[in-house]
Homo-oligomer: A and B are copies of this chain.
Amino acid sequence: MPYSYEYPHPAVTADVIVFSIIEGRLNVVLIRRAAEPFKDCWALPGGFVQMDEDLKAGARRELAEEAGISPDQLAGLPFFQIGAYGHPDRDPRERVITVAFATLVPMDRVSLVASTDAAEVQWFPLDDLPPLAFDHATILSDARAALARMVETRLTDEATAVFAFLPEAFTLAQAQSVFEIVKGQDLDKRNFRKWIDANWEIEDLKRKTTGGRHRPAALFRLVGLKAG
């Protein structure tokens, strides 16, 4: 036991909620725990923060180790803190305080989730979750609430992060579907189109989707928020 302190210290972990959209539903990455406590139970990827790394860096490192998602695969994607969770008995081993982060991965890159070592890693639809270890159900529901708050009316700048769910080149129908899923309510097609180009600078890529047996859709790229 080489690490000694004059006063007791809690352990600190960082957990990550990885959101994406798969087949029209919000999904998250869970891993099956290989060790006690909660062995074989599903949990958020995460683990102990090292002494010389920032909380966010620790979260990214654990995400790479446990879910095979490397920090450079997440370059440019939102990665934000949800909060700290520290009920004294949330972990049966010892006092563990966890700091939760969330990230949003594009719907065309969900395959970047890969099992490493023996760990089982899997996407789960948010509305069909298995029982979760620790207080991860609470953390997840807070993260879901944070996501929903980003797209509340009139908070257009916070909503920018939600575009991370979309591929680099997206159709307006895809964009609408993403906002519908995050908000949890259906939107009117024409109103959505008016709203998106009143609020965002989107570049028309002058390309069309192909292959669908229907009229092709124009592809766009997000440039940024409109000034004003």
Binding site for B on A (CB under 8 A): 1-12, 48-49, 51-55, 81, 83-84, 86-88, 95, 97, 99, 152-155
Contact = CB atoms under 8 A, between A and B. Distances in A.
18 contacts: A1-B6, A3-B4, A3-B6, A4-B4, A5-B5, A7-B48, A8-B51, A10-B12, A10-B51, A49-B86, A51-B95, A53-B88, A54-B86, A54-B87, A55-B84, A55-B86, A81-B83, A154-B154
Contacts of A97: 12, 49, 55, 97, 99
A88 B54 contact: yes
Nearest to A88: B52
A3 B12 contact: no
Nearest to A87: B54
A3 B152 CA distance: 47
Across the A-B interface, give the 3 residue pairs with the lowest CB-CB distance, nearest first: A9-B9, A1-B4, A55-B86
Contact of A154 (B12, B54, B99, B153): B153
Contact of A8 (B3, B54, B87, B99): B3
A5 B7 contact: no
A25 to B, nearest CB: 27
